[in-house]
């Protein structure tokens, strides 16, 4: 009984979240390579750290105004702890505003801080983070992550084939018919990638609704007066890192980018199963009903025809 209920929950949650899952998965796989993308389209994002000290904000301002004499610097921002980060400078004048990057060691103009390619990528990030809907969209995103968490857990419960048949649940029967193959593909891939999908779902909930997670950490490890770093704090810090695969080299990002497309495949195979079980089932039942009506009508017609044929000799004898 529980299995049937969870199957319906899993089925209709997946159908309802289909478009959402596709959008989040595709944009997430792109955002894994955010730093590489920026480095390619914004060469000035990193600079070579010089042996001398970084220029002061006033020196960067003076260098910028020398190179743009018609404009005035309104803001200079430097991340001094990051020796390879450029200085960001905003200039205004003649009805326009510029946002440029400057070398903090030489004062050289490194280019536009917001080229069109990176602006487009920022829209991709906004779509992934808050569905282009601001705070409301971000809340919806958190609810979507919670629904994906439930869908992952219900899928794992439905997948379990029992102790005797556990091998059948982890392999694909390549020579089976296409319906069976689609079922195996959905179940087996869902099982082997469960940890990743569940991780992405639960960490996305944390990034939208962090307070419940912090409350659990506070309950398990009450904070002390010294503000000592707790194990729970470290775990939560890693939530953001593992969500985007930003804890190791490029190979991890490649794995994350590829596996990030798995929910799209699960959605497609799930829709095919839903179509076979529901839509085609309804069509078959309707066709069967219409066929029964046609057969009854035909049988009634034949019966009436035979009755009229049997009455004709009697009428002729009269």
3-state helix, strand, coil in the chain (%, to 5): 70, 10, 25
Of 48, 91, 85, 50, nearest to 71 by C-alpha is 91
State if pTM tops 0.95: no
Render pLDDT for 34-91 as a digit per residue (tens, 0 to 9): 888 887 877 666 778 767 788 999 999 999 999 999 999 999 999 877 788 889 999 9
The share of the chain scoring above pLDDT 90, in percent, equals: 45
Task: Name the residue with higher pLDDT: 254 or 301.
Answer: 254
DSSP letters spanning 83-149: TTPPEEEEEEETTEEEEEEE-TTT--EEEESS-HHHHHHHHHHHHHHHTTSHHHHHHHHHHHHHHHH
How many whole angstroms separate alpha carbon 47 and alpha carbon 280?
Answer: 60
In angstroms, the CA 185 to CA 149 distance is: 20
**pLDDT value at position 281?**
53
Lowest mean pLDDT among 74-83, 109-118, 271-280: 271-280
The H or E element spanning position 76 is: strand 72-77
The residue extents of the domains of the chain are 2-37+128-264, 43-114
Q: How many CA atoms lie within 13 A of 80 on its CB side?
A: 7
User: Would you say 270 and 14 are in contact if contact means Cβ atoms under 8 Å apart?
Assistant: yes
pLDDT in tens, 6-17: 777 777 777 788
Q: What is the pLDDT of residue 301?
A: 60
């Amino acid at each position: 009984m529980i299995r049937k209920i969870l199957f319906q929950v899993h089925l209709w949650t997946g159908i309802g979240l289909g478009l959402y899952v596709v959008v989040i998965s595709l944009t997430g796989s792109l955002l894994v390579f955010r730093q590489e993308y920026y480095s390619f389209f914004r060469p000035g994002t990193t600079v070579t750290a010089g042996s001398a000290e970084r220029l002061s904000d006033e020196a960067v301002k003076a260098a910028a105004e020398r190179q743009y004499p018609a404009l005035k610097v309104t803001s200079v921002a430097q991340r001094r702890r990051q020796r390879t980060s450029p200085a960001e400078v905003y200039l205004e004048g003649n009805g326009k505003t510029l946002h440029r990057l400057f070398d903090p060691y030489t004062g050289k103009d490194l280019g536009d801080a917001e080229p069109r390619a990176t602006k487009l990528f920022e829209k991709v990030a906004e779509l992934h983070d808050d569905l282009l809907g601001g705070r409301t969209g971000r809340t919806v995103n958190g609810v979507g992550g919670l629904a994906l968490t439930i869908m992952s857990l219900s899928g794992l419960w439905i997948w379990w084939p029992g102790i005797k048949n556990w091998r059948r649940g982890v392999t694909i029967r390549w020579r089976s018919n296409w319906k069976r193959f689609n079922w195996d593909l959905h179940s087996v891939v869902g099982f082997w990638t469960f940890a990743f999908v569940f991780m992405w779902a639960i960490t996305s909930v944390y990034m939208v609704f962090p307070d419940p997670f912090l409350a659990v950490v506070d309950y398990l490890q009450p904070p002390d007066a010294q503000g000592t770093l707790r194990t729970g704090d470290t775990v939560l810090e890693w939530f953001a890192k593992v969500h985007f695969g930003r804890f190791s080299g490029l190979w991890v990002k490649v794995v994350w980018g590829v596996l990030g497309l798995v929910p799209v495949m699960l959605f497609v195979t799930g829709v095919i199963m839903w179509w076979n079980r529901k839509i085609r089932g309804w069509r078959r039942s309707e066709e069967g009903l219409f066929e029964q009506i046609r057969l009854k009508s035909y049988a009634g017609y034949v019966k009436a025809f035979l009755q009229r044929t049997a009455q004709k000799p009697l009428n002729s004898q009269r």
